[in-house]
Amino acid sequence: MMSTTTTPTPAPAPKTNHIGLSVLDYRGGKTTLCAGCGHNAITERIIDAMYEMGVQPENLAKLSGIGCSSKTPAYFVNRAHGFNSVHGRMPSVATGVALANHKLMVLGISGDGDTASIGIGQFVHLMRRNLPIIYLIEDNGVYGLTKGQFSATADLGSRLKTGVINDLPAIDTCALAIQLGATFVARSFSGDKKQLLTLLKAAIAHRGTVMIDIISPCTTFNDHEGSTKSYKYSKDHDEPVQELGFVPVFENIEVDYDPGTTATVRMHDGSALRLTKLNRDYDATSKVAALHLLAESHAKGEMLTGVFYVNTTTPSFIEQLNLGGESLAKLPEAVVRPSKQALDAIMEELR
Amino acid sequence: MATVDLGVQERAAQVSTDSRKVNDFSIQVATVNGSGSQSANTVLLRSIFQMGIPISGKNLFPSNIAGLPTWYTIRASKHGYIARKKEIDFVVAMNAETAQEDVMSLGAGAACVYDEPLNLSGLRKDIAFYPVPFDKLVGPVCPEAKLRRLVKNMIYVGVVDALLGIDIEESEKALAKQFSTKKKAAELNKAAVRAGYDYALATFTKQDPFFVERMNENQGKIIIDGNAAAALGCMFAGVTVVTWYPITPSSSLVEQLIDYLKEHRIGPDGKATFAVVQAEDELAAVGMVLGAGWAGARSMTSTSGPGISLMAEFVGLGYYAELPGVIFDIQRVGPSTGLPTRTMQGDVLSCAFLSHGDTKHILLLPCSVEECFTMAMDAFDLAEKFQTPVFVLSDLDLGMNNWMAHPFQYPEKPLNRGKVLDDEDLKRLGGFARYKDVDGDGIPYRTLPGTTHPGGAYFTRGSGHNEKAQYSERADDYVRNMDRLARKFETARSFVPAPVREIARSSKIGIIAYGTSHWALVESCDQLRKEHNLQVDYLRLRAYPFNQDVHEFIKDHDCIYVVEQNRDAQMFQLLKLDVDADQIIKLRSVLHYNGLPIDARSVTDAIISQQTPAQKGQ
């Protein structure tokens, strides 16, 4: 029978993550980008990933260069220090930050112009060093802020609204990153919520340079028929290399997977990245296989997404520099200024 | 033959005593670069230094690895003058390519030791020639034929020792220091010095008036180059992040710093307390410096003119977003690639205003190796105090040449890390506004990433921002911020190293100089007084922005010569921008820009030529 009395339900406690923060603690300012911009979806996934992974907001440093993509660090994790730097030069600033304080989680947001044109020099050298930095390219193939010129990741034959056809080959930032030494390289699509979120969580668990190229359509300047970076084209051509699963270390879930179809990569923090076979046999721990796969996909005109390369054994730049537990920025005077005896001994040598 | 029986020094008596020139001359060694002559020249320099005579050594070298002409000049001066001497008194001609010109450019009464096959003795009647068969002498002392090319140079050290009266034991001591880790090389070179010495004693009659006699001016002094001194300053300033891109003449600063850090900055846990990155270019180098400075490290880079040009955009960000960082500019001759191995004070204006928009930067101007050391430490304190990039303008002459100095004093002041709020401060304050002028000095407070207080974070940007570091294109926000930055720069006037009144004789004529020009100025002021009966006051600038002393010095004089090493009178222009309009007319300019270090004679001549007849009579 039905009860006529209603018991007042208490307001549900806000859902919190394993460090006791709610998703609101990871929010940023209101976006000023165009409605429907792929970058806004990426911002949402970053917030989800940080929340789900329980990243301490104050321990994050978010950096960017210049461009639409580079505005986005203002739209997530307000409780983190942010730095909107110089066009194409975020890698060097991020490098300085990571060296000064290697306990920070350093997240760099860039775009295709900021990375592949003006910033290609700093980008390739960042990839070589394998610093613990997460580098995201919000890739739409055009310069948005200057009203729609092609960038260097625009595909050969892609067409602008104005009818201009791109007659130069695209730079594949993933192939570059793999060749040069990045240790976690992936491509995703802003419209694929699940894949992107999984990739970002794995990126947070990785200790080394992460490079994720995220196809992120520009609704204003590059979302038309003839563009190879439009929503429609990307949805139609997105071909995941594998199905991704991620089990963070704090969830402590052990599930047996068939080793014939699923490879498990143990991340630096103990989390597990699961790569489940789809249409092809692919070993994401092989650099040669990764470069072969990308070269093949160019020939076929495929838009592959997923983890192309992951390597959790190469030492990071911080280890190569032999830095200790305390960050350089926090070392006290007694540690960084040698003694009077040391100076006197040096002077004696010079007499 | 009689000449074989008598030693050179005994013959010295034949040079009449009143024409003897003791401890007051310059020696120039002309060789080919890559021939190992640098070691021989250092030994010669140290030998005279150890005999207690004030010396300076200047290397004039090509932008090349091996095979091009190079000259090394040693000046001995009982008066303590260590600027370049314009005239060469004693040449050692080892380079066939330049030998004739080296001889023809000497003044009458000079001396020339040369490699015998060059056959130079017929060129002039008015100088003393000493031909030495280096190839014949090197054979017996150096059985290994492939080493002879290098050892040959050490022979001239012995020859010069004998001719000038340098105690050969001092050369042997200097050799032992030079080759302290290479015993075999030390022995080989010692034999070469001895062979040259014995040959000269047995062969030559002293025909020139130049002599070295012991003095006691160098007790306790050290010899060091400016780049090594700056490197030491950086280490004792507690530098933690060093980034660089190799460029002459600045590379040796970071290279020597790396050596010092490896020796003195590894913690008890075996871990490094520093990070050094050789960047892909100067843009990245300065980007890393500013990123590290933002995150709380003491960070620096070192470069020269072309690197400064590349850093322009980032330095503007550093100024506007208020990021600390230290940039050493070891100036060389520009524009463009210019003369990469020659010296100049050519980056004063470009550094003072580097980057687009309204920007201005603190410049420190060391004149000596001591100041390379102390100003390196000042630079880090100022960069963090004022939260801005700070330039240290050294030059090739200071950075790459050896200078005498008193041993450096251990810093007494603790590090000044500037206005940084930590968690405790934020708890007390409840929050902060990054670009608010709380104290009225234009210097705001900052927090470092990683600060755990939820009110500690802020957003840094090179675009317009308000006091709370929020994006703003509002006119009033922009103007308020730019005015505060100007106020901060005004505050800096009284915190940068103050100018020094080097000579104060209450004259109406003043001289203003800075950096390495100082050494020529000291000597020139003496020349003006002794030769022209002209008393001058001399103020040495040590930093930009100028403090009140500079303005007072200009007000106190009727005529002020601004002496500097560039074509466009860059410091003169900077002073003109700063002084009152009615003072500008008093300023005159003396310029030296041929790539060689400035010398006193050129300064004296230039000042005298600009004096009116009435002033000359003063």
* Structural domains of chain A sorted by starting position, each given as residue range(s) with its CATH number in brackets: 23-243+277-329 (3.40.50.970)
Interface test with A, best of B459, B465, B468 (most A CBs within 10 A): B459
Phi, psi values for residue B3, rounded to 5°: -65, -25
Q: To which residue do tokens 């005579």 refer?
A: B53
List beta partners, residue B591: B564
Confidence of residue B136 (pLDDT cuts 50, 70, 90): very high
| B466-481 average pLDDT score | 97
| B12-21 average pLDDT score | 66
Return the CATH number at B574. Answer: 3.40.50.920
- B61 with B190, same domain: the answer is yes
The whole domain housing B594 covers 500-616
pLDDT digits (tens, 9 = 90+) for A155-212: 999 999 899 999 999 999 999 999 999 999 999 999 999 999 999 999 999 999 999 9
Q: Which residue has the higher pLDDT, A5 or B67?
A: B67
Could B459 and A347 be called an inter-chain contact, meaning their C-beta atoms sit closer than 8 Å?
no
- Token readout for B590 is 């003396």
Kindly identify which residue of chain B lies nearest to residue A78, measuring between CA atoms: B457
- B526 with B459, same domain: the answer is no
Q: How far apart are the C-alpha atoms of B178 and B503, rounded to whole Å?
A: 38
| A107-112 average pLDDT score | 98
Which among B236, B449, B471 is the nearest to A97, CB-wise?
Answer: B449
- B78 with B142, same domain: the answer is yes
Within 8 A of A344 by CB-CB distance, chain B residues are: 407, 410
Within 8 A of A99 by CB-CB distance, chain B residues are: 241, 275, 277, 288, 291-292, 297
Q: How far apart are the C-alpha atoms of B233 and B237, rounded to whole Å?
A: 6
Q: Say whether pLDDT at A13 is over 80.
A: no
Mean pLDDT of chain A: 94
Q: Let me know if residue B219 belongs to a domain.
A: no
Q: How far apart are the C-alpha atoms of B46 and B53, rounded to whole Å?
A: 10
Q: Say whether pLDDT at A103 is over 90.
A: yes
Give yes or no for A61 touching B (CB within 8 A).
yes
Asked if residue B239 lies in contact with residue B256, where contact means CB atoms within 8 angstroms, the answer is no
Confidence of residue B4 (pLDDT cuts 50, 70, 90): very low
Interface test with A, best of B50, B461, B472 (most A CBs within 10 A): B461
Cβ pairs bridging A and B (under 8 Å): 219
Mean pLDDT of chain B: 95
| B572-593 average pLDDT score | 97
Within 8 A of A135 by CB-CB distance, chain B residues are: none
Could A92 and B292 be called an inter-chain contact, meaning their C-beta atoms sit closer than 8 Å?
no
Within 8 A of B231 by CB-CB distance, chain A residues are: none
Determine if residue A32 is left, alpha or beta; phi over 0 gives left, psi from -120 to 50 gives alpha, anything else beta: alpha
Confidence of residue B62 (pLDDT cuts 50, 70, 90): confident
Q: What is the pLDDT of residue B58?
A: 96
- B467 with B373, same domain: the answer is no
Asked if residue B445 lies in contact with residue B432, where contact means CB atoms within 8 angstroms, the answer is yes
Q: What is the pLDDT of residue A235?
A: 94
Q: Let me know if residue B296 belongs to a domain.
A: yes
Instruction: Name the B residues in 407-426 with CB < 8 Å from any A CB.
Output: 407-408, 410-411, 414-415
Q: How far apart are the C-alpha atoms of A69 and A63, rounded to whole Å?
A: 11
Asked if residue A136 lies in contact with residue A187, where contact means CB atoms within 8 angstroms, the answer is no
Q: Let me know if residue B289 belongs to a domain.
A: yes
Interface test with A, best of B180, B261, B273 (most A CBs within 10 A): B273
**What is the residue-wise DSSP string for B294-334?**
HTT--EEEEE-HHHHHHTHHHHHHHHHHT--EEEEEEEEE-
- B8 with B81, same domain: the answer is yes
- B200 with B64, same domain: the answer is yes
| A43-72 average pLDDT score | 97
| B480-505 average pLDDT score | 97
Return the CATH number at B168. Answer: 3.40.920.10
Domain boundary among B149, B180, B211: B211
Which among A99, A322, A342 is the nearest to B297, CB-wise?
Answer: A99
Phi, psi values for residue B121, rounded to 5°: -55, -25
- B137 with B176, same domain: the answer is yes
Q: Report pTM.
A: 0.95
Which among A96, A342, A346 is the nearest to B292, CB-wise?
Answer: A96
List beta partners, residue B514: B541
pLDDT digits (tens, 9 = 90+) for A115-148: 999 999 999 999 999 999 999 999 999 999 999 9
Q: What is the pLDDT of residue B605?
A: 97
- B481 with B518, same domain: the answer is no
Q: How far apart are the C-alpha atoms of B163 and B197, rounded to whole Å?
A: 8
Domain boundary among B432, B464, B492: B492
Q: Which of A314, A320, A266, A317 is nearest to A131 (CA)?
A: A317
Could A333 and B238 be called an inter-chain contact, meaning their C-beta atoms sit closer than 8 Å?
yes
Q: Let me know if residue B184 belongs to a domain.
A: yes
Within 8 A of B237 by CB-CB distance, chain A residues are: 337
Q: Say whether pLDDT at B209 is over 90.
A: yes
Q: Let me know if residue B414 belongs to a domain.
A: no
Within 8 A of A108 by CB-CB distance, chain B residues are: none
- B154 with B258, same domain: the answer is no
CA angle A132, A137, A143 (to 5 degrees): 145
Q: Which of B136, B150, B121 is nearest to B38 (CA)?
A: B150
Determine if residue B555 is left, alpha or beta; phi over 0 gives left, psi from -120 to 50 gives alpha, anything else beta: alpha
Q: What is the pLDDT of residue A252?
A: 75
With a CB cutoff of 8 Å and minimum separation 6, the contacts of A236 are none
Whether the ω angle into residue B444 lies within 30 degrees of 0, i.e. cis, is: no
3-state secondary structure of B473: coil
Domain boundary among B211, B235, B258: B211
Q: Say whether pLDDT at B6 is over 50.
A: no
Q: What is the pLDDT of residue B66?
A: 80
- Token readout for A240 is 């995941």
Q: What is the pLDDT of residue B1?
A: 34
Q: What is the pLDDT of residue A11?
A: 75
- B190 with B229, same domain: the answer is no
Give yes or no for A94 touching B (CB within 8 A).
yes
Confidence of residue B3 (pLDDT cuts 50, 70, 90): very low
Q: Let me know if residue B56 belongs to a domain.
A: yes
Share of chain B above pLDDT 90, in %: 92
| B119-137 average pLDDT score | 96
0.85 surpassed by complex ipTM: yes
pLDDT digits (tens, 9 = 90+) for A36-55: 999 999 999 999 999 999 99
- B67 with B205, same domain: the answer is yes
Q: Say whether pLDDT at B443 is over 60.
A: yes
Give yes or no for B607 touching A (CB within 8 A).
no
Could A347 and B407 be called an inter-chain contact, meaning their C-beta atoms sit closer than 8 Å?
yes
Determine if residue A67 is left, alpha or beta; phi over 0 gives left, psi from -120 to 50 gives alpha, anything else beta: left
Asked if residue A96 lies in contact with residue B287, where contact means CB atoms within 8 angstroms, the answer is yes
Q: Let me know if residue B417 belongs to a domain.
A: no
Q: Which of A169, A112, A118, A101 is nearest to A135 (CA)?
A: A112
- B61 with B115, same domain: the answer is yes
Q: Rounded to a whole number, what is the distance in Å from the CA of A198 to chain B's nearest CA?
A: 26
Report the range of poorest mean pLDDT among A12-16, A328-332, B519-523.
A12-16
Q: Let me know if residue B418 belongs to a domain.
A: no
Give yes or no for B283 touching A (CB within 8 A).
yes
Number of domains in chain B: 4
In sequence order, which ranges of A136-192 are alpha helices (DSSP H)?
Answer: 173-180
Amino acid found at A38? G
Q: What is the pLDDT of residue B612?
A: 76
Q: What is the pLDDT of residue B615?
A: 62
Q: How far apart are the C-alpha atoms of B444 and B320, rounded to whole Å?
A: 12
Instruction: Name the A residues in 25-54 with CB < 8 Å from any B CB.
Output: none
Q: What is the pLDDT of residue B618?
A: 46
Q: Say whether pLDDT at B14 is over 80.
A: no
Give yes or no for B196 touching A (CB within 8 A).
no
Return the CATH number at B233. Answer: 3.40.50.970
Q: What is the pLDDT of residue A254?
A: 74
